[in-house]
Amino acid sequence: MRISTITNWAYAITVVLTALSGAAFIMSSRSAVQERLAVEEHLTFDTLAEELALGAEVRSDEARLYVMHGEERHLQAFRAEEEGERRHEAAAAKLASQDLSPTEAGALQEIDTEAEELDKIEITAIEAFQRGDRSGAQGMLFGPEHERLQAALLDTVTHFRDLTATRTGMQLQAAQARSDWWGLVAKIMLAITGLLFLGVLYFILRRRVAVPLVRMTGIVGRLAKQDYTVDVPADPRRDEIGEMNQAIQIFRANGIERERLDAERRADQRTKDLILQMMHRLQACANGAELADVVARFAPQIFPDIAGGLYVLDGSQVSLTRASAWLDPHHSEVTFPASACWGLRRGRPHASGGDDADVSCLHLDGAEVTALCVPLTAQGDTIGLLYLEERGGKALRLESSRLYLELIAENVGLAIANLQLREKLTALAARDPLTGLFNRRFLDETLERYSRDLADQPLACLMIDIDHFKRFNDEFGHDAGDMVMRYVGRVLRDVVGQSGHAFRFGGEEFTILLPGLSEAEGFQLAEELREKVSSGVLSHSGRIIGSVSISLGVAASPMEGSVETLVARADAALLKAKSQGRNQTVAASRGGR
């Protein structure tokens, strides 16, 4: 039942009980008044009867004294008592007009009759005395008739007093009983009202209001501090407190849901921030190694429960090689053909394994694992693969992460494409398109860098010229001459390898820089180059071109001279080798082979 209903009922019952208590007190008061009136009536009747009896005796005594002594004062006292007796008789007549019982009224009438007869004898005796009949007067006042009437009057007064005492006593007892009964009823009503008030205070205000409110105050205080771990106990009551408890439960549920949404929003915003940071760093990468490291650093932060790797297509566009990995993926090969991935075949993300099992990619090891392959494309060309697999038994959530995966894949693909394009442009700017060697401009930049930063480090320089190159162009055509150029460039790359850098100086001339080598070591390498070039026999379009020979000049720094004069000294040695008959090596410091 609702508290307001209980309160209204309690209020109504309290009002009714209070009214009944008041009525009982009023009835008790009226009974007390009746009790007082009964007492007063009893006193009045008793006093009147006493005065009648006493007055009759006094008058009789005064009349007797007067006839015995003849003193006037006794006659005056007799007459005064007679006047008082008349007043008493008038009061008795007035009382007789009230609600007296027939017996009481008869006794009162008998008193009046006997009193009148007694008065007549006394008056007759006084008149006889006044006429001089003293003995006759004394005989009447002291005679048996007077004694009889006086005794009868006293007996009648006593009987009247007994009758009135009995009746008024019964009225007094009835009034007292009614007063006591109504007083008891009033006390019981007051006790019930007090108990009802105490019950309302304890059961309603304390148990149903105060205690739940105190408990809910603590709960609301913790909820106000966004402490949603507080437990809100269920309250099945269908009253205001129950409704408040339900409202608090709804508030807590809304707070938990809001906190969950805020956490998701913060996690989503953090993911977006990480993706944005990764994009910025991808755009600043200078080479593929840096790009692969950036992806490997940010991917586990964006997807903390997903292992994976970045695969890049090789130059042949046939196989993929893992460029970087994160969180230790186990189920994909490091290198595999592009045809082994269904994602690359279909050109869209492909999930292997999981509840909705699809065709597993061939580059997986066949274990029960959920994996996802996201192709990396740029301008319609496939350039790599983003591989993801479950880690720690946590399934991949492709649908919830698809947007981010596509965004990351798109940006990684564009970054790889940009790097590849940049490398191509750099190669075009720094390399000779015919031989694939570095060009003259890159040679100048390299020498400037050595002169600025590494001037005190050993550096050998080889200047190379193809002997009688004009003969190849004249006899076999320019295509044959280009073939000879490419042949010489390939030999230079193979022999020099990682020991130095090969450049096309211009025309049929080439330059090689060998960091860390002295002039003597450079001379040995030059001889190896010369023998390697001359050992091959070339043909073009079915025609034998023959062998190719080269002339070489060697110079070094800093012992033999500065870096600024290095090429000039090596070129002077080359001119000397050509002037001495070609197909030989000349060291700048020794002037011969």
Query: What pLDDT does 3 receive?
Result: 61
DSSP 187-220: HHHHHHHHHHHHHIIIIIIIIIIIHHHHHHHHHH
pLDDT reading at 53 higher than 60: yes
Q: Coil, helix or strand for 539?
A: strand
pLDDT reading at 248 higher than 90: no
Q: 512-541 burial, b for 16+ CB within 10 Å, e for fewer?
A: bbbeebbbebbbebbeebbeebeeeebebe
Query: What pLDDT does 590 receive?
Result: 72
Single out the residue of 225, 529, 241 nearest to residue 233, CA to CA: 241
For 214, other C-beta atoms within 10 Å of its C-beta total: 9
How far is Cα 514 from Cα 216, in angstroms, rounded to an integer?
A: 85
- Mean pLDDT confidence for 488-505: 90
Query: What pLDDT does 6 receive?
Result: 64
- Binned at pLDDT 50, 70 and 90, residue 302 comes out as confident
Query: What pLDDT does 371 receive?
Result: 84
pLDDT reading at 403 higher than 50: yes
For residue 473, how many C-alpha atoms fall within 13 Å in the half-sphere facing its CB?
10
Domains and CATH numbers, the chain: 3-195 (1.20.120.1730), 230-284 (no CATH), 304-428 (3.30.450.40), 431-587 (3.30.70.270)
Query: What pLDDT does 592 receive?
Result: 43
For 267, other C-beta atoms within 10 Å of its C-beta total: 10
DSSP 219-256: HHHHHHTT-TTS--------SHHHHHHHHHHHHHHHHH
Query: What pLDDT does 33 receive?
Result: 74
pLDDT reading at 355 higher than 70: no
Query: What pLDDT does 93 receive?
Result: 64
- Mean pLDDT confidence for 33-37: 71
Query: What pLDDT does 593 receive?
Result: 43
Q: What are phi and psi of 252, to 5 degrees?
A: -65, -45
How far is Cα 290 from Cα 439, in angstroms, rounded to an integer?
A: 26
Q: What are phi and psi of 388, to 5 degrees?
A: -130, 140
Question: Tokens 């209001």 correspond to what residue?
Answer: 209
Q: 421-433 burial, b for 16+ CB within 10 Å, e for fewer?
A: eeeeeeeeebbbe
> Among residues of the chain, what percentage have pLDDT more than 90?
16
pLDDT reading at 509 higher than 90: yes
Q: Give the highest mean pLDDT range of 158-162, 203-207, 257-261.
A: 257-261
Average pLDDT value for the chain? 81
How far is Cα 277 from Cα 408, in angstroms, rounded to an integer?
A: 11
Query: What pLDDT does 13 receive?
Result: 78
What amino acid positions are annotated as catalytic residues? Answer: 508
Which residue type is seen at 540?
A: H
pLDDT reading at 125 higher than 70: yes
Query: What pLDDT does 554 receive?
Result: 95
Query: What pLDDT does 459 receive?
Result: 92
> Among residues of the chain, what percentage have pLDDT more than 70?
86
Sequence-separated (6 or more) residues with CB below 8 Å from residue 268 = none
pLDDT reading at 17 higher than 50: yes
pLDDT digit string, tens, across residues 521-533: 999 999 999 999 9
Sequence-separated (6 or more) residues with CB below 8 Å from residue 81 = 55, 58, 59, 62
Inter-residue contact 186 to 24 (CB < 8 Å): yes
Query: What pLDDT does 178 receive?
Result: 79
How far is Cα 1 from Cα 133, in angstroms, rounded to an integer?
A: 103
How far is Cα 322 from Cα 312, in angstroms, rounded to an integer?
A: 7
Sequence-separated (6 or more) residues with CB below 8 Å from residue 468 = 549, 582
Q: Coil, helix or strand for 408?
A: helix
Q: Which tops the pLDDT comparison, 81 or 176?
A: 176
Q: Give the highest mean pLDDT range of 66-75, 148-157, 449-458, 569-578.
A: 569-578
Query: What pLDDT does 145 receive?
Result: 82
- Binned at pLDDT 50, 70 and 90, residue 88 comes out as low
Q: Coil, helix or strand for 582?
A: coil
DSSP 511-538: EEEEET--HHHHHHHHHHHHHHHHT-EE
Inter-residue contact 495 to 532 (CB < 8 Å): yes
DSSP 542-560: TEEEEE--EEEEEEEESSS
Query: What pLDDT does 99 receive?
Result: 62
Q: Which tops the pLDDT comparison, 427 or 73?
A: 73
How far is Cα 178 from Cα 494, in angstroms, rounded to an integer?
A: 138
**Helices 398-430 and 440-453 sit at what angle, rounded to 10 degrees?**
90
Tokens, residue 593? 């082979």
Query: Kind of pairing, strands 550-557 and 585-587?
Result: parallel
- Mean pLDDT confidence for 107-119: 77
Tokens, residue 199? 């019950």
